[in-house]
Structure 1
Amino acid sequence: MDMSKVFKSSLGIKYPTFRDYPLHSGEKWLEGKNNDDGAEGLWRIHDNLYDLNGFIEIHPGGRDWIELTKGTDITEAFEVHHLTDNAETLLPKFFIKKATSPRSFPFTFHEKDFYKTLKRRIIGKLETLPKHLAIKSHIMTDALFASYVGLFLLAVYFKSFVLGIGAGLCLGLVTVAAHNYFHQKDNFRRFYFDFSLMSSKEWRISHVLSHHMYTNTISDMEIAAVEPFLQYLPGEKNLLVRYGSWLYSPAIYAFLFFGFFVKTLLQNYLKSKVTAWPTLLPFTIPVLAWLLTGQPVMFCFGMFLWIVIMGSIHFGIVGLNAAHHHPDIFHDGDATRPKSEMDWGLFQLDAVMDRKDITGSHFLVLTNFGDHALHHLFPTIDHGYLEHLYPVFLETCAEFQADWRLVSQLDLIKGQFKQLAKVLPNRNVPK
């Protein structure tokens, strides 16, 4: 389906090349950005082009971030992912020339505006916080993974599908928790995400580089990936999509993990005909259960399918109802701020709501996409620190008259279904 005839950007963003490519792969999204961003095969930051080839192997965050983004505009990712001035100091060494075309995106990062002001204050606050807050996140995440494996083995040993539900819940929780880690520099915990059948490397593109930077716009892969079945942007929709999606959404939740796995296999095959080793990680657990319990191999894999479905349902319910879909949240096509007020941080607040049921609990924030506004503004910061950043955040919001919205989980669940049914754009300009 040609979604370009349905959804138009109110931000003035060109309809992304390959947005409607059936596979919705991160690789294709990046290929489209290569066509659209005016980076000329280099790395674009604001209106300058840099050659970072010599920096790939020594990048402190890992080679993925540099290698994947060659030929694209990385302005937002560069500004948001670096919490010191080290990267900015190094940049002039790699400068090649000025870009010859304007940026595709309207977002700004002026020193005296909301985001850069907040960023300076957050950096100062982080220096005063104890390191054990991140260690608590590590312990919780490791414990959830261990619980998943333990409950999986018990479910197979006792042939208990009830224990399988418990294992599936732990799988869903550890998958969300692992999302904390694929935002950060290379570390082993990011691979917990791959045990869900999804790919942490693919999500570094679709979630980190796309969704986080261009939230709820036509350049957000997480919007495009569920189309035409779930259509969150305002525009022409038939009755089945508007209201039938309320009924078939649970089926989509149940098979999210499987769908992403099939997409990863196809992407690997089309690119190199080789399966990347993280793709095999999920299958180590049913094989372990078979070796340790002596149960038939088919039963072990049947339980695996059951557990994956349970985890996928949890992940789908939490993920799609976490922060971004409600009629009062900005979706591309809605009225926008004036160009003079297109600060990236303010835009992020327009595209998110937080849940009062989740905020305040380290465990719930880590496992339910909590403290979502602060996480979007500073995605590399461990979730354990976020609750301690609120005094600085709220003070800066008040200073710039920025609207941080806190609602209930139920409000967002109801709002998500209302947004699916929404056809007319919101004409109220964000404040």
Structure 2
Amino acid sequence: METKENVRNNNSKRKSGMISSLGIKYPTHRDHPLHSSDIWLAGKRADEGAEGLWRIHDELYDLTDFIKIHPGGSEWIRSTKGTDITEAFETHHIRGVAENFLPKYFERKAKSVRNYPFTFHENGFYRTLKKRIRTEVDKVPRKYVIRSEIIADSLFVSYVLSAWLATYTSSFILGLISGIFLSYTSIAAHNFFHQRDNFRMYYFDFTMMSSREWRISHAMSHHLYTNTINDMEISALEPWMHYLPFRKNLYIKYVGWIFSPVFFTLTFYVQWTRTLVSNILIKGSVPITTFIPFSVLIVLNLGTNQNFFNCLLMFLWIIGCASLHFMVVGVNAGHHHPELFHDGDATRPKEEMDFGIFQIDAVADRTEITGSALLVITHFGDHALHHLFPTIDHGKLKFLYPVFKKTCEEFGIEWRCESQFEMIKGQYLQLRRDVNTNPPKKLKTVVANN
């Protein structure tokens, strides 16, 4: 018997025409107005047959005793209880150590089939590439990780100093520059919230967005279910921007073109408000990290001769500029182009539904960004490799291209690298396009030669 929630979801699905071409169930709570990470996780618990445990492939594990000792941080495990973590487990553990611990926590086989079609066959593309990457990544000197840390720290200091100077001089031009520094700081911080708990991931919270929220909406949703109906970074933009190629009337096709500048400018404020309300309604408490961005406002008020109103005005101006810049960089970073796969398009055959192949079908890199350490960490660069191995520091990714390209060639996978202008143009074209009925190019092989 259908619950009221299921009826509501099915009605929404019928109205929008959103039926996943990948066979993914229309996510419970996808149309919830708050659209928070906790609500998304609640939907996963309802949809994925994990039976209150942690599902990896077709097996259920009780990781309760592992929460506090998880090397990456307890929140990764605690928040995902009752969900399918197959894709997260595969992509977040490169060295093969975690697999050795799993049998200790095994409970039973899952009763239902997985909600997602992606495969991880031992000789398939993803695991073949992962084994090869495993031997290469440790060869990269740590100095390239340190460089990433220095860039992030420098951007953060530049944000605070420029915000102070903008407030002290009442210069909105300097405020704009400060906003750009804040935007770049948050993008650099994105490199760190994919990794084990560390202080640099909290640079992201200075934007008024939440690193904890984004660990879920970005790392666990967007990265794992890229360009699908379960990608929060797509559903969060609706109804203003519709990137999935389901039935679109004239209004839906062009509303994003018209309203995106306003929507982008307000994004940080909206995200903060949503997170605050969600924490109050769902958890009954507000984490201290919610108030991190206002520490800069306090510095501006105490460190300049301006009154509080002027400090607040400049602070909000900086946040708005950062929001606009961040969103412009983000939506043009590598996913939205008519030639990239979006749920609703024709899919590969079942035997080619390897997770890594799916990711490459939905990602493009940019020629101007790839190769520059500064541009990569501040513009979501090396996008394909980052999606495949999100926990590897951005500073190391460029050294993995030889083995990546070799493996792509071996399997016959097309890795796209477009100009930034082409991606910007393609992003607008994606908003108006309909379903692509031509499946991605067929592979040379579905198993490795060795």
Interval of TM-score (by shorter of Structure 1 and Structure 2): over 0.9
Q: What is the alpha-carbon distance in structure 1 between the residues aligned to residue 227 and residue 126 of structure 2? A: 19
Match of 2:151, as an amino acid?
M
> Is 2:219 the counterpart of 1:171?
no
Establish whether residue 182 from structure 1 lines up as the match of residue 157 from structure 2: no
1:4 corresponds to 2:13: yes
Select 1:358's aligned residue among 362, 369, 375: 369
- TM-score under structure 1 normalisation? 0.98
The reply on whether 1:26 has 2:54 as its aligned counterpart is no
Q: How many residues align?
A: 431
1:259 paired residue number: 270
Give the aligned partner of residue 388 of structure 1: 399
Structure 1's unaligned 5+ residue stretches are none
Specify which of 163, 167, 173 is matched with residue 156 of structure 1.
Answer: 167
Secondary structure in 1 aligned to 2:326? helix
List aligned pairs for 1:36-115, cutoff 5 A. Answer: 36-115=47-126
1:220 aligns with 2:231: yes
Residue 243 of structure 1 deviates from its aligned partner by 1.5
- Check whether the contact 2:348–2:439 (CA below 8 A) recurs between aligned residues: no
Q: Partner of 1:135: helix, strand, or coil?
A: helix
Tell me the equivalent position of 1:15.
26
Which piece of structure 1 moves more, 243-252 or 371-380? 243-252
1:234 pairs, out of 236, 242, 245, with 245
- Contact 1:145/1:171 (8 A) holds in 2: yes
1:222-241: per-residue Cα shift (whole Å, max 9, x none)? Answer: 11111111101112222222
Cα distance in 2 for residues equivalent to 1:3 and 1:162: 44
* Alignment-mate amino acid for residue 296 of structure 2: I
Q: Pick from 221, 239, 251: which aligns with 1:210?
A: 221
Shift of the 333–191 alpha-carbon distance from structure 1 to 2, 3 Å rule, reads same
Identity of aligned residues (%): 56
Indicate how the Cα distance of structure 1 residues 169 and 314 shifts in structure 2: closer, same or farther if over 3 A, else same. Answer: same
Cα contact 1:235–1:425 (8 A) shared by 2: no
TM-score (normalised: structure 2): 0.94
Structure 2 match to 1:317: 328
CA distance in 2, matches of 1:152, 1:3: 44
Deviations 1:365-386 (A, max 9, x none): 0000000000000000000011
Q: Cα offset for 1:3?
A: 4.5
Distance in 2, matches of 1:391 and 1:271, equals: 47
Deviations 1:181-240 (A, max 9, x none): 110000000000000000000111100000000000111111111111110111222222
Task: Say yes or no: does 1:121 pair with 2:132.
Answer: yes
| 1:331 alignment partner AA | H
CA RMSD of aligned residues (A): 1.1
Where has structure 1 moved over 6 Å in runs of 4 or more?
Answer: none
Give the whole-Å Cα distance in 1 for the aligned partners of 2:310 and 2:293: 16
Check whether the contact 1:336–1:430 (CA below 8 A) recurs between aligned residues. no
Task: Return the letter of the residue paired with 1:324.
Answer: H
Name the aligned partner's letter for residue 217 of structure 1: T
**Distance in structure 2 (CA, Å) of the matches to 1:411 and 1:397:** 23
Alignment-derived partner of residue 446 in structure 2: none
Deviation at 1:247, TM superposition (A): 1.7
Equivalent residues of 2:266, 2:320 under 8 A apart = yes
